[in-house]
Structure 1
């Protein structure tokens, strides 16, 4: 990037897309695309995104629009906050207006159904030649917007790009680290949502903190095995995008995926749970892709398997936990069993 302030475009005005846009707007001219004109108007007139972030105040210089060309045509950096199921369509719609070679940063913690692609793989297909990376970490959007201290990792294919872009997101209370392990960060982000559903099911059935700690710890091992098999750096899974994001997503009352699991644990069907939500819980879609990939890789993933059984095959949370507890424990680090 050159020395002038980069112009930043954010596609997607959900809670996290808006939170990141507000952060970036404090240091660079930033425009956010909202599918709803009403959301864009709320951002411009009231400096709020009431639909997704309640009364949280946004940076006053952040501009909203529902016109894709307007938001991306002169951008030096493109940030993608559209959920995984709409990511490709939104990027294809924006592609004719995107300037050559600008970096694209994904905020999405999911996998594309049908292709099993990570979001940066979609970027490489739709916008070949554009550096593609991801920002991820233990970040609850409302807390970050309210100014609570937090941290995230930005992963880009080369360290220089990662370092430059880190400065765009960094504030006094939002610490940004950098890495070149794009694959590992994306895999961790997708898997932690699946495991948060498992943790939430424990909450819904009344399991205790010991049980939750057990699930989180074994989920981390499952995540690392899966990610390393795909080529991720083992250290990534013990960092912010791995352990950090897994812990907050499995424990926070504001976690959508944990809440899905909790409602399943209380006896609701997945259809009933999703009908009551106005935001996407990426783990619901990701678990199908994860199971397909695990089968191809020959990796045993007991926790993900039980989540898949409840989300996609009519099982119950009680069934899932009974299934996990029936397995005979092996070697904690090198064993194959749960």
Structure 2
């Protein structure tokens, strides 16, 4: 089976390299100069300069050529690029199944990826989500990892697992696409919070408390939107949360660390130089939660620091000063 990977950032490139262990893969980028350089150097010098392309991986600037004959298409763009990529596929008359690895809620609409797909894809085309605890650099190096393939059609999810699973990147199937998408989105918000706590040297106790209560927020949000709470205990929930909130390769954790240094949002984004999906996602999650009457104090605090210029010290005092209550996971 030929696989087309649309999006040649770090994660798209890493997945293209890894899945090329089993089948022919075409990696697409909209930037002609980047494609030409990757074809010449046989690596993505911009994002993963030390990860060579296998012979089974080709690169293309033409989306039509990239998807021609593909049995599966994997979209690996920022969340902001998902709708446009789906529109482009529809214009090309694509009929191949589509997966996405986009994490977040669409800015302005509060839609999850599968809801965007419902608006832009023909209903008969199979679709699903790839998510889980996985840093691009480690996957590209061939270090072991495991992720989830989620789809409302459990049989489709299992078929993708059978087709793409490797000895290095282990895949698991799930029929809870809502839960997997929520885990992928909200864990980035919690990683920002964890970065702030670590940047202020609040200690390991504080980090453990923060992530535990953050997981409870994720579960409440998941259930309210129709997902399964047990999904938050899997790879796309607690697994991705632990990695993103504590791993030094995490962009969202880096946002929190920079906020703790006193930088404002513009300064953080300039310093980062890459997309951190937790920033736009935080605002959309909070809007959705408030509309549904869901209590998400950590998410609200992250938004106050990011967008309202509230001092981090004030946020910590507010969180710690909340009224005592019975603990509940959801």
TM-score (norm 1): 0.93
Question: Is 1:64 the equivalent of 2:59?
Answer: yes
- For structure 1, which segment, 236-245 or 31-40, has the greater mean C-alpha deviation from structure 2 after superposition? 31-40
Name the counterpart of 2:274.
279
User: Is there any run of 5+ residues in structure 1 with no aligned partner, and where?
Assistant: 1-5
Question: Is 1:311 the equivalent of 2:295?
Answer: no
Change (3 A) 1:139 1:328: same
Change (3 A) 1:197 1:334: closer
Q: Is the 8 A contact 1:75 1:99 kept in 2?
A: no
Paired residue total: 329
- Choose which of 323, 326, 329 in structure 2 pairs with 1:331: 326
Question: Is 1:128 the equivalent of 2:122?
Answer: yes
Question: Is 1:298 the equivalent of 2:293?
Answer: yes
Which secondary structure state, in structure 1, belongs to the residue aligned with residue 8 of structure 2? Answer: coil
- Choose which of 101, 107, 125 in structure 1 pairs with 2:101: 107
Q: Is the 8 A contact 1:205 1:318 kept in 2?
A: no
Runs of 4+ in structure 1 deviating by more than 4 angstroms, as ranges, are: none
Q: Is the 8 A contact 1:205 1:317 kept in 2?
A: no
- For structure 1, which segment, 134-143 or 21-30, has the greater mean C-alpha deviation from structure 2 after superposition? 21-30
Change (3 A) 1:63 1:234: same
Which secondary structure state, in structure 2, belongs to the residue aligned with residue 74 of structure 1? Answer: coil
Which secondary structure state, in structure 2, belongs to the residue aligned with residue 299 of structure 1? Answer: coil
Name the counterpart of 2:172.
177
Change (3 A) 1:145 1:98: farther
Could you tell me how far 1:78 is from its partner in structure 2?
A: 1.1
- For structure 1, which segment, 324-333 or 225-234, has the greater mean C-alpha deviation from structure 2 after superposition? 324-333
**1:92-151 C-alpha deviation (Å, 9 max, x unpaired):** 123222432x21111011110121111122122111222221011110110111111111
User: Is there any run of 5+ residues in structure 2 with no aligned partner, and where?
Assistant: none
Name the counterpart of 2:136.
141
TM-score (norm 2): 0.96
- For structure 1, which segment, 271-280 or 174-183, has the greater mean C-alpha deviation from structure 2 after superposition? 271-280
- Choose which of 111, 117, 123 in structure 1 pairs with 2:111: 117
Question: Is 1:96 the equivalent of 2:91?
Answer: yes
Could you tell me how far 1:236 is from its partner in structure 2?
A: 0.3
Could you tell me how far 1:242 is from its partner in structure 2?
A: 0.1
Could you tell me how far 1:261 is from its partner in structure 2?
A: 0.7
- Distance in 2 (CA, whole Å) between partners of 1:334 and 1:149 is 30
Q: Is the 8 A contact 2:192 2:256 kept in 1?
A: yes
Could you tell me how far 1:334 is from its partner in structure 2?
A: 6.3
* 1:235-246 mapped onto 2 (5 Å cutoff): 235-246=230-241
Name the counterpart of 2:48.
53
- Choose which of 210, 215, 221 in structure 2 pairs with 1:220: 215
- For structure 1, which segment, 38-47 or 113-122, has the greater mean C-alpha deviation from structure 2 after superposition? 38-47
- Choose which of 200, 208, 212 in structure 2 pairs with 1:205: 200
- Distance in 2 (CA, whole Å) between partners of 1:264 and 1:7 is 43
Which secondary structure state, in structure 2, belongs to the residue aligned with residue 176 of structure 1? Answer: strand
Q: CA RMSD in A?
A: 1.5
Which secondary structure state, in structure 1, belongs to the residue aligned with residue 55 of structure 2? Answer: coil
